[in-house]
A = this chain, B = another copy of it.
Amino acid sequence: MGSGQQTPTRRQLLNAIGLMGGTAALYQMMTTFGHAAETRFDGPPNLSGARKGASVIVLGAGLAGMLAAYELEKAGYKVRILEYQNRPGGRNWSLYGGDTYTEMGGATQHVKFAKGNYLNPGPWRIPHHHRTLLHYCKAFGVALEPFIQFNHNAYVHTTEAFGGAPQRFRSLAADFEGNVAELLGKAVDQKALDTRLTPEDVDRLKEALRSWGMLDENMRYTKGLRSSSHRGFDLPPGGGVNGAPKPSDLFPFDEVLKSGVWAQMAFFMNDEFQTTMFQPVGGMGKIGEGFGRKVGHLITYNAKVTKLHQDRSGVTVSYTDVAKGGAAVEAKADYCVCTIPLSVLSQIENNLSEKKNAAIQAVPYSGQVKIGLEMRRRFWEEDADIYGGHSFTNQQIGLVSYPNNNFFQDGPAVLLGAFASGAGGFNLAGMTPEERIEVALKEGSVFHPESYRKEFLSGASVAWSRVPWAMGCCARWNEQTRRDHYQELVALEDRVVLAGEHASYVGCWMEGSLLSALDAITRLHKRALEA
């Protein structure tokens, strides 16, 4: 996939401009080609000429650590990876039936899902423009399938509108657009807008509002087949003698505003959530497994890092074997790529600079909670015409998300019964796994009251603040911490460089960890060549 991302050559550019001529050429240069630089990924790094025998120790076998190790080994470095867990992938992780998971606090869950079903506690979807990740998925044989992010037919629920009754996204969005179009049309007609709009623009705008907002011939948003073709019919078009459709009533606009549907409308337009998204076939953990197939021979599992020390001669890492116990062991290398989450790294003894440690301490981690609920049958498909996507709520669970694989199949399927953050995440993390399931069933029932409890089989949950090897979901930078600490955090310090989603502007995404790793090893390689 590499070739396409490169900046077009001057010749290609001029050729393309020649095809268009005039204004077209200008716009083409300004816009299409400008935005074609949609990604930071130019293909695998070219780390040629590693110093013979130079060694790198990588801390953490998450995606950042494994990619760093893979490319460094390819370049000729002697690489090893220390990993706390007994599997590759880090936060790239799926829980399957038969898995056991013990969280901080000691609660142990035995996952009972049917074969093939899973919960992705961490990442669960891949934007189409995360090219680094897509590149390595293909290179490492990880099959992907569409992730249905946007579903017009899923529900929006808030206790603040419609007396707490969920409504279909499409109906709310259609009514929001229709009312906005009608209101702006009125304002335009009243010449209320002292703007830069020319009379021609005004005509075009009115045409646009009528078409986009499904307004009638009087520029009003009214009940009829036209508005129903967006929001849904009371009786949809059919066949034969009684085939004529019946339009649906519009919602009161004040309820539409209270529903907050505009937040979901904006959410779906966020570039990280725009269509088309993907997921690995068989669970997100397949990516970690794919990377693990390439660098598994470099990994020491069950290695808990207790100390990171560098001096003029090299880097020394102390670690204990969490499976077998015993005294700490030392590992030495010329360089170190440390991908340990800041939430954990901040608790590890080190002799990095004060500034670096201040940066490591400065960034809080979020505490999302995810809950998987296995249901006996796909009632959301069979009864509610919902195939993938999310139903949103202002309750603690945040949303219910529907599986994007095995559509139409009989037998059990796993819903994401909660993706809670903020106060909801905090509350759920404080509960036992059993209590979390109960909340998920209670709150999720608002969308599917007749089936939710009736079809429930078993559940599993992960509260990231209680994950022993991460102690949080991902780094939450803000403007202030970016300004004060980001460059300190990512700076190569003598022989040690940090990498991971926390060392990127694509925080909380796998792409961020990979881009960070590529940037880190490119700088490390340059330093090694200078040594």
| A505 on the B face (CB < 8 A) | yes
User: Which chain B residues border A24 with CB–CB below 8 Å?
Assistant: 162-165
Asked whether, in the complex, the Cβ of B144 is within 8 Å of the Cβ of A146, the reply is: no
Asked whether, in the complex, the Cβ of A262 is within 8 Å of the Cβ of B208, the reply is: yes
Asked whether, in the complex, the Cβ of A204 is within 8 Å of the Cβ of B258, the reply is: yes
Q: Count of chain A residues with Cβ under 8 Å from any Cβ of B?
A: 150
Q: From residue A13, how far is it (CB to closest CB) to chain B in Å?
A: 10
Given A165-B20, A387-B128; A183-B193 close (CB under 8 Å): yes
* A240 touches which of B150, B153, B234, B523 (Cβ 8 Å): B523
User: Which chain B residues border A241 with CB–CB below 8 Å?
Assistant: 487, 490-491, 519, 523
| A395 on the B face (CB < 8 A) | no
Of the candidates A3, A162, A190, A379, the one having the most CB atoms from chain B within 10 angstroms of its own CB is: A162
Asked whether, in the complex, the Cβ of B385 is within 8 Å of the Cβ of A229, the reply is: no
| A423 on the B face (CB < 8 A) | no
Asked whether, in the complex, the Cβ of A167 is within 8 Å of the Cβ of B239, the reply is: no
Asked whether, in the complex, the Cβ of B245 is within 8 Å of the Cβ of A38, the reply is: no
Asked whether, in the complex, the Cβ of A35 is within 8 Å of the Cβ of B144, the reply is: no
Given A35-B232, A234-B35, A388-B276; A240-B204 close (CB under 8 Å): no
| A198 on the B face (CB < 8 A) | yes
| A32 on the B face (CB < 8 A) | yes
Which residues of A in the span 186-216 have a Cβ within 8 Å of any Cβ on B?
Answer: 186-188, 190, 192-193, 195, 197-198, 200-201, 204-205, 208-209, 211-212, 214
Given A201-B253, A208-B257; A34-B518 close (CB under 8 Å): no
User: Which chain B residues border A34 with CB–CB below 8 Å?
Assistant: 234, 248
Distance between Cα atoms of A26 and B163 in the complex (Å): 8
Asked whether, in the complex, the Cβ of A236 is within 8 Å of the Cβ of B39, the reply is: yes
User: Which chain B residues border A212 with CB–CB below 8 Å?
Assistant: 176, 262-263, 265-266
Interface string of A400-417 (1 = CB under 8 A from B): 000010011000000000
Asked whether, in the complex, the Cβ of A275 is within 8 Å of the Cβ of B151, the reply is: yes
Q: From residue A450, how far is it (CB to closest CB) to chain B in Å?
A: 6
Of the candidates A30, A128, A249, A388, the one having the most CB atoms from chain B within 10 angstroms of its own CB is: A128
| A4 on the B face (CB < 8 A) | yes
Stretch touching chain B among A46-54, A84-92, A367-375, A508-516: A508-516
Q: From residue A384, how far is it (CB to closest CB) to chain B in Å?
A: 7
Asked whether, in the complex, the Cβ of A512 is within 8 Å of the Cβ of B239, the reply is: yes
Distance between Cα atoms of A389 and B277 in the complex (Å): 12
User: Which chain B residues border A529 with CB–CB below 8 Å?
Assistant: none
User: Which chain B residues border A257 with CB–CB below 8 Å?
Assistant: 201, 204-205, 208
| A287 on the B face (CB < 8 A) | no
Asked whether, in the complex, the Cβ of A503 is within 8 Å of the Cβ of B269, the reply is: no
Asked whether, in the complex, the Cβ of A163 is within 8 Å of the Cβ of B384, the reply is: no
* A275 touches which of B4, B150, B265, B482 (Cβ 8 Å): B150
A-B contact pairs, 7 of them (CB 8 A): A31-B249, A38-B385, A138-B408, A150-B275, A176-B208, A192-B193, A239-B499
Interface residues, chain A, with chain B CB atoms under 8 Å away: 1, 3-5, 8, 12, 15-16, 19-28, 30-32, 34-40, 128-129, 131, 134, 137-138, 144-146, 148, 150-153, 162-168, 170-171, 173-174, 176-177, 180-181, 183-184, 186-188, 190, 192-193, 195, 197-198, 200-201, 204-205, 208-209, 211-212, 214, 228-230, 232-245, 248-249, 251, 253-254, 257-258, 260, 262-263, 265-266, 269-272, 274-276, 278, 379, 381-389, 404, 407-408, 445, 449-450, 482, 486-487, 490-491, 499, 503-506, 512-520, 523
**Which are the 10 A-B pairs with shortest beta-carbon distances?**
A240-B519, A192-B192, A239-B515, A4-B383, A23-B163, A187-B187, A24-B163, A239-B516, A237-B505, A239-B504
